Amino acid sequence: MSILDWRHDSPFVPLAEHLKYVRQCVDLVLPMFECVRAGDYDQLKQLTEEVYKAEHEADKVKTEIRRTIPKAFALPVYRGDLLAFVHVQDDLADTAEDLAVQLTIKKLALPEALAENVMAYVRQVVKVCEKLYDALALLEDVVEADFTGPRGERVMALVAEAEHEEWVADKQQYKLAQGLFALDDELKPTDLYLWSQIFQNLGALANHADKTAERLRRMLAR
């Protein structure tokens, strides 16, 4: 028996199963940063272990999707589009895992001068992902309606909202980078480097959500 329930007729059921684990990873990003800000490294370690487990489950589902979907379903979208979608959706889990690793390489302190802006940036990145989730929640209904009608229009609107929120996140990332390097005389070189990499991966997380939304748009536009 597959790790997924292939009795369903729609390939979007296993996609939703994959998203469940991806979302578990991403939903832990903000709590991890809250732990760093509070200096609660024991709780941070527990959260990172949850990220690793969820990312591993996402990988297992991704592998099963790649192996089984082309054989199990009469696909309503192009196979290449579907597999590309799974890949970019999985990048969200991978990036959340990368952040978990970076936040626990050492007991990293969040510079107080940047703390409020960093947390606002993390919340903005999560907001991009949430717009994607809202669009994906409507996916199966849209497919059943042959990609047309009010639900299809709503999905496209949510994709556009995700793109806008990612643009906002980009602006915040630039300002944070400026603020970080303004502290280069105060921070240890290792901390400066780590925070720079962390900000880049937060930007990558927002970017992957945007790319997943764009892949969704492509599938619906066929």
Domains of the chain as residue ranges with CATH: 12-221 (1.20.58.220)
Q: Count the helix, strand and coil residues of the chain and give each as a percent rounded to the nearest 5.
A: 80, 0, 20
Within 10 angstroms of residue 85's Cβ, the number of other Cβ atoms is 23
pTM over 0.85: yes
- Residue 16 pLDDT: 86
- Residue 6 pLDDT: 44
Task: Spell out the residues 6+ positions from residue 75 whose beta carbon is closer than 8 angstroms to its own.
Answer: 11, 69, 82
Instruction: State in Å, rounded, how far the first CA of the chain is from the last one.
Output: 33
Low-confidence stretches of the chain (pLDDT < 70) are 1-11, 69-78, 140-149, 221-222
Return the closest-CA partner of residue 187 out of 106, 74, 99: 106
CB contact at 8 A, 125 and 206: yes
Return the closest-CA partner of residue 126 out of 162, 87, 100: 162
